[in-house]
Amino acid sequence: MEHQDNHRSLQFALARSYAIYFIFSIVGLFADNFFPIGTPTSHGQIIAVLCFAAGTILIWWAQATSGVKSSTPYFERGPYRFLRNPTQIGILILIGGYAAISGSIIFLATALVGYFISDIFFKKYEAILHAQYGDQYKQYKQSVPKVF
């Protein structure tokens, strides 16, 4: 029962984190219509395609890894071996792709603010994992960077 409660708490913390991203991205899209800052560049399309591909692959890999039943915790497999929050980084890369293709500085700025605010919920997520896995998660956290 405790494991199931931890799983729900983890999912709740992550859902809030992703919702913050979404809300700030929407705010950025609307703000860009009223206060357009920046212009698309000729290289924006190439950068956007690369960001869309890389972000999508990273998110898919992270979600596929975390859903697999295994004797080892998901944070020791897949992209979690390299990043503590690969889904959030994947979303940030996707946002960078949109900012590159649209040239919207204000959209990128609001998305970055959303990323830093979502970190509040990511800290809760990490606290739950620490409570569940103890020293194993503590060692993981010390050896794997949060971003890059």
Confidence of residue 139 (pLDDT cuts 50, 70, 90): very high
Report pLDDT for 117. Answer: 86
Which tens digits make up the pLDDT trace of 48-77? 889 999 999 999 998 888 876 777 788 888
What DSSP state is assigned to residue 36? -
**Residue 36 contacts residue 136 (beta carbons within 8 Å):** no
Mean pLDDT for the chain overall: 82
Side chain identity at residue 143, one-letter code = S
What does the pLDDT look like over 9-29, one tens digit per residue? 767 777 777 788 788 878 887
Provide the b/e sequence for 7-28 (b: ≥16 CB within 10 Å). eebbeebbeebbebbeebbebb
| pLDDT(41) > 90 | no
Contacts with 93 (C-beta within 8 Å, 6 or more apart), sequence order: 51, 54, 55, 58
Kindly calculate the radius of gyration of the chain based on its CA atoms and give it in whole angstroms. 17
